[in-house]
Amino acid sequence: MIRKAQGFYETFDRKEPGTRATHYCPGCGHGIIHKLIGEAMAELGIQDRTVFVSPVGCAAFCFHYFDCGNVAGPHGRASAVATGVARALPGKVVISYQGDGDLGAIGFNNAFQAANRGEHFACFFVNNSIYAMTGGQMAPTTMLGQKTTTTPFGRDAVKEGYPLKVCEVLNQLDAPVFIERVSVSDTKHIMQAKKAVRKALEIQRDGKGYAFVEFLSPCPTNWRMDPVTSAQFVNEQMEKVFPLGNFRDRSAQPAPVAKPVPQLTVDELLGRGHEGGSAKPDLAFKERKFKFSGFGGQGVLSLGLVIAEAAGDSGRFVSWLPSYGPEQRGGYASCSVVVSGKEVGSPTVDAPDVLVAMSQQAAEKFAMTVPAGGVVIYEASLPEPGAREGVKVMAFPASRIAAESGTPKAANTALLGALTALDLHGLPEDKVLQALDASFAAKPALVERNRKVYRAAFDWAKNNL
Ligand code: SF4
């Protein structure tokens, strides 16, 4: 009597209700590997806490077969999805099932990094040395001389490189607990493969860490062989290139324990020395959208951050969204700040109520985005930017005031003084100054100097704008 396979749904209803036939070709190794996994799940009693991540490839329909939790991963991303599942659901047994195109090519970095982090899942890697689902193209694991539809004269190391030996690569990493290469070519090999599958799942059951099992598996269809010849091909050709055996088994060692994460408040996390306030709805407060713009090194982002901090400390809802080029100095930089009496819907600011432009490029780029009723404040040494009708455009000598106050680099602080003097942010001055001081917490000598610039700019704006 043939024993019913364990770990599977009663019927596989993908195409026809009631059938128990899989979609695999005759002689394919996937069905055997599935059976080993299903049996091991059932025997270990972990079926109801197992999550199986299916790949893209011939095995894309695993979720029609395995009677456990199922997730379908995008192409090459099964290891990334398994990482997410394992981290979100500690205590579950997570399986990533991937072929050689999926894991060895598009998903190699995902799989490699997951192994290097020692993620808690079992990765079952099916190596049939070819892209199977897409019709037999060369895979990273295709052997030298092996003919595929894209290497019709055989893989040539000079043109196509060498077959990727994934077990050997992963064996260079510190984190994996278990690495083994097995074969499903015949009964003797299948018995050994079953032990490896079981061990990989025991490691998951016991929360020990990352386990990797590579299966040398026949693909009669794309190899253009009958099942018997395919099995011989695995034994006689593949095993020479991909030697079988256990590369590592550290399952007897205790699992490493992660360092506890300190429980910090947001202020402690951000290193802020002052109390952050909780935002409270205030529908009477007029929402203000700012764009602070210039180039890197002018303190554009810091200016926006001081306003954002002051707003947060004043109980306003606030967002701060920076945007800058790759250069640390001299490249384009801007930030969008929204200060509101209600939750901020989007941190992006396409039509600012207030534009602060510290460079000509920034003024030219953003001035026309300010709608009627808005304000443009630009550095007075620059040409006046064009603006829409109904927009108030003000030249403000931020650089000159900062220089005359003894801190030429503090033009951004001068602009902060002007914004307060003109009441463009609607925030209490004591909160603004508190945030300004806090921004120099690491350089206390600059606190008083910036206060001096701020005060001079405030007075100038009051008297001249
Ligand atoms: S194409 Fe190859 S790997 Fe895919 S189901 Fe058929 S035999 Fe299996």
Domain ranges in the chain?
A: 29-249, 269-464
Q: Is the CB of 24 under 6 A from ligand 1?
A: yes
The percentage of residues in the chain with a pLDDT greater than 70, rounded to a whole number, is 96
Looking at residue 21, what is its pLDDT? 85
How does DSSP classify residue 426?
-
Ligand 1 atom closest to the CA of 132, numbered from 1: 1
Q: Which residue has the higher pLDDT, 424 or 256?
A: 424
pLDDT for residue 274 is more than 60: no
- Give the three-state DSSP class for 75: coil
What is the spatial distance between Cα 132 and Cα 202, in angstroms, rounded to a whole number? 30
Ligand 1 atom closest to the Cα of residue 26 is 7
Using one digit for the tens of pLDDT, what is the confidence trace for 216-237? 999 999 999 999 999 999 999 9
**Structure token pair of residue 48:** 């109801």
Comparing 29-249 with 269-464, is the CATH topology the same? no
Please give the mean pLDDT across all residues of the chain.
94
Which residues, in sequence order, are bridge partners of residue 212?
123, 179
Tell me how far the alpha carbon of residue 113 is from its chain's centroid.
Answer: 12
Relative orientation angle of helices 29-44 and 187-205, to the nearest 10 degrees:
40
- Whether the predicted pLDDT of 338 surpasses 90: yes
Q: Compute the distance from residue 131 Cα to the ligand 1 centre, in Å.
A: 9
Is 279's pLDDT higher than 90? no
Ligand 1 atom at minimal distance to the Cα of residue 30: 8
Ligand 1, atom 3, residue with closest C-alpha: 219
CATH number of 29-249: 3.40.50.970
Strands across the sheet containing 288-295: 317-324, 332-340, 288-295, 354-357, 375-379, 392-396
Name which residue sits closest to atom 1 of ligand 1, judged by CA: 132
CB 86 within 8 A of CB 49: no
Mutate to test the pocket of ligand 1, among 24, 137, 185 (most ligand atoms within 8 A of CB): 24
Count the residues in the chain: 465
Residue tagged 């969008």 (tokens): 336
* Predicted confidence (pLDDT) per residue in 51-67, tens digit: 999 999 999 999 999 99
Substitution site in 32, 56, 149, 222 for ligand 1 pocket (most atoms within 8 Å of beta carbon): 222
Domain 269-464 fold is Pyruvate-ferredoxin Oxidoreductase; domain 3 (3.40.920)
Q: What is the pLDDT of residues 159-181, one digit of tens each?
A: 999 999 999 999 999 999 999 99
Among candidates 75, 85, 12, which has minimal Cα distance to 49?
A: 85
Instruction: Please state at what angle helix 78-88 crosses helix 108-117, rounded to 10 degrees.
Output: 30
Q: Is the pLDDT of residue 276 over 60?
A: no
Q: Which atom of ligand 1 is nearest to the CA of 223?
A: 2
**Residue 273 in this model has a pLDDT that exceeds 60:** no
* 108 Cβ closer than 6 Å to some ligand 1 atom: no
Sheet of 69-72, strands arranged across = 69-72, 50-54, 93-99, 122-127, 211-216, 178-183, 245-249
pLDDT digits (tens, 9 = 90+) for 16-45: 788 888 899 999 999 999 999 999 999 999
DSSP 8-state symbol, 258:
P
State if residue 358 touches ligand 1 by the CB under 6 angstroms criterion.
Answer: no
> What ipTM, to 2 d.p.?
0.99
